[in-house]
Amino acid sequence: MLMAKRKNLFWTPCSAHCLDLMLEDIGKIEKVKKTIEKGIFLVGYIYNHSMVLNMMREHTKNAELARCGVTRFATTFLTLQSMQKQKPALRNMFASEQWTSGKWATERKGQRANDIVFTPTFWNNVLLTLKIMGPLVKVLRLVDNEKKPAMGYVYEAMERAKLAIAAALGKDSNEYILVSEIIDKRLVPEKAKQDLIMAELIQWINQEGFFGLESAKRQHGKIARAEWWKKCSL
């Protein structure tokens, strides 16, 4: 009823939940999906076999691999990040005589785990996934640390995340175009509003238009774009 009477009143979704949905959608991209599945399998295999787990800990000097949670999709990022960090140790473990001479190396699941660790394409896709998810997880941590962050901060942080992803993947790459569409869809469904928001954000970042005024330049980086605009509109 309220929304029907006041058509210019906009609602904003829970930022953390919105980011989770973005990460979940990104996790459905075929290349990312297969990488996550292989990562989850590898970590699960290691932690489900005590002897293999002890072997891993010897090679990682007791450093652990992050295990995926069921409530937040962002934990898959932590899993892949920890695997990437321990890549040399994992490869050394599966190349060791202790592994190759053991019974695990001849079992089907053990062979699959071994193949994953020594497949260059898998590690290339791990890096790709981290480049995509990393900037978004950074924004998620930002909103998680704030009780109710202003939407101006969130939109500005998301635009900077998109710029970081574009720099990592190439702004004309198919991967970036797909990720950009996922992000825009979750922020604002209507494409016309997406374009207006992005245009204004670019003006704010580049200090153009009204944002190029001396008073705006002094506040750039000190106050959220939305807060500055609100004050100037009073």
DSSP, res 210: G
**CA 199 from centre of chain:** 24
pLDDT of residue 75: 86
In the block, tokens 């904003």 appear at 12
pLDDT band of residue 91 (cuts 50, 70, 90) is very high
Interval 150-162: pLDDT, tens: 556 677 788 889 9
Compute the CA torsion angle 25, 138, 45, 123 (nearest 10 deg): 80
The structure tokens listed for 87 are 């890549």
pLDDT band at 16 (very low <50, low <70, confident <90, very high): confident
Mean pLDDT score, 205-214 = 63
As a whole number of angstroms, the distance between CA 101 and CA 150 comes to: 58
Helix or strand run (H / E) with residue 79: helix 75-85
- At 221, phi and psi to the nearest 5? 90, -10
